[in-house]
């Protein structure tokens, strides 16, 4: 919990709950679990409610069976809900995520008034089209003093040499343009708040998301997010609060790291996008430089209190 601002009273309550967890185990008390579908078949009580995330297009029979063992499963993506319902799983529903209260808009400009600052936030993956997006930006703006790109894409599941190879592949001849910054993992929400507020543009053309916290947070803070018009983005990103990039098709999800063929989990496809469509989205975002995304600010009303209320309401049924 070190990333968050924790009220002392809540911290003490949480620690007490952890320390007393074994003495309070009761299979009659409903359990709320936030976890992957894989291993969610292990239940701490007779009634389990699951919040999980699923990005691919085709639920497997194993995933469907595990969800049927839950009393109810919440997804933060209507896309996922619809996919599982079409696969015959009825005890699923949508619940929105929100804007963490640690993130607040800073009115003063944190960057030079002449520099257009773009950020790519989220661990590097094929699913997120990370390499494609960054290479498009570099082709358009690399070496341009008016533009700056900050990458916060370190993937903790990669070995250091794998992450280094990923970075080297982004740059022509392995040479990073001077206007591209690479950040190590950021430890606190307070530091993340500074990064979000320093940005003008957030680049998030992912092929499959369960919500996309970076894109939603940036948009709710009044920034311009260039997002894919697909999967969970459709639950909160509109033509009025985001710059939407339309997909041109789909491709199998396999990256032989997180997604591999023939497995009981994470099968199917992700959406794809042309370089031209992403570049056009960036051009539109640049045109809006210096303006506040007023429609985006309205997303700040999406709070985790709403998320919790909807979950508790269902558990109480």
Distance between CA 211 and CA 42 in Å, rounded?
25
Q: What is the dihedral of CA 288, 294, 300, 302, to 10 degrees?
A: -100
What phi and psi values does residue 111 have, to the nearest 5 degrees? -115, 170
Per DSSP, 247 falls in state -
Per DSSP, 123 falls in state -
Question: Which pLDDT does position 310 carry in this prediction?
Answer: 97
Spatial CB neighbours of 98, under 8 Å, sequence gap ≥ 6: 302, 303, 304, 305, 306, 307
The end-to-end CA distance of the chain, in Å, is: 30
pTM of the model: 0.95
Question: Which pLDDT does position 277 carry in this prediction?
Answer: 98
H-state helical runs in 120-200 = 130-141, 160-170, 189-198
- Nearest to residue 251, comparing CAs of 61, 79, 56, 77? 56
Per DSSP, 140 falls in state H
Q: What is the dihedral of CA 102, 181, 185, 205, to 10 degrees?
A: 70
Spatial CB neighbours of 30, under 8 Å, sequence gap ≥ 6: 45, 47, 48, 49, 71, 315
Per DSSP, 97 falls in state -
Distance between CA 91 and CA 180 in Å, rounded?
46
Q: Is 291 left (phi over 0), alpha (psi -120 to 50) or beta?
A: beta
Per-residue pLDDT tens listing for the chain (317 residues): 889 888 999 999 999 999 999 998 999 999 999 999 999 999 999 999 999 999 999 999 999 999 999 999 999 999 999 999 999 999 999 999 999 999 999 999 999 999 999 999 999 999 999 999 999 999 999 999 999 999 999 999 999 999 999 999 999 888 999 999 999 999 999 999 999 999 999 999 999 999 999 999 999 999 999 999 999 999 999 999 999 999 999 999 999 889 999 999 999 999 999 999 999 999 999 999 999 999 999 999 999 999 999 999 999 97
Domains of the chain by residue range = 8-98+303-315, 116-301
Distance between CA 298 and CA 142 in Å, rounded?
33
Using an 8 Å Cβ cutoff, are 80 and 54 in contact? yes
For residue 61, give the 3-state DSSP assignment: helix
The superfamily CATH assigns to domain 8-98+303-315 is: Glycogen Phosphorylase B; (3.40.50.2000)
Question: Which pLDDT does position 209 carry in this prediction?
Answer: 97
CATH architecture, range 116-301:
3-Layer(aba) Sandwich (3.40)
- Nearest to residue 177, comparing CAs of 208, 135, 215? 135
**Residue 234 to residues 75, 127, 220, 311, Cα–Cα distance (Å):** 14, 17, 15, 21
């Amino acid at each position: 919990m070190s990333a968050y601002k924790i009220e002392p009273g809540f911290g003490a309550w949480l620690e007490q709950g952890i320390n007393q967890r074994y003495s309070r185990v009761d299979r009659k008390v409903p359990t709320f679990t936030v976890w992957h579908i894989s291993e969610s078949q292990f239940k701490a009580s007779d009634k389990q409610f699951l919040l999980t995330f699923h990005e691919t297009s085709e639920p497997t029979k194993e995933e469907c069976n595990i969800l049927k063992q839950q009393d109810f499963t919440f997804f933060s993506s209507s896309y996922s809900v619809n996919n599982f319902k079409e696969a015959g799983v009825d005890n699923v529903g949508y619940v929105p995520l929100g804007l963490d209260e640690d993130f607040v808009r800073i009115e003063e400009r944190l960057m030079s008034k002449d520099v257009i600052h773009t950020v790519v936030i989220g661990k590097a993956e094929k699913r997120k089209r990370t390499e494609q997006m960054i290479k498009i930006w570099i082709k358009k703006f690399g070496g341009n003093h008016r533009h700056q790109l900050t990458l916060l894409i370190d993937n903790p599941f990669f070995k250091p040499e794998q992450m280094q190879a990923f970075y080297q592949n982004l740059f022509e001849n392995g040479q990073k343009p001077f206007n591209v910054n690479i950040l190590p993992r950021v430890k606190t929400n307070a530091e993340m708040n500074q990064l979000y507020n320093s940005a003008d543009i957030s680049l998030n053309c992912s092929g499959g998301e369960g919500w996309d916290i970076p894109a939603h947070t940036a948009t709710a803070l009044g920034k311009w997010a260039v997002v894919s018009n697909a999967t969970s983005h459709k639950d909160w990103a509109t033509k009025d609060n985001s710059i939407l990039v339309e997909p041109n098709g789909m491709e199998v999800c396999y990256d032989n790291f997180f997604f591999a063929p023939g497995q009981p989990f994470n099968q199917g496809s992700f959406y794809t996008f042309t370089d031209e469509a992403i570049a056009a989205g960036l051009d539109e975002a640049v045109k809006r430089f210096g303006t506040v995304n007023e429609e985006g600010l309205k997303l700040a009303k999406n709070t985790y209190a709403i998320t919790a209320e909807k979950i508790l309401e269902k558990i109480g049924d």
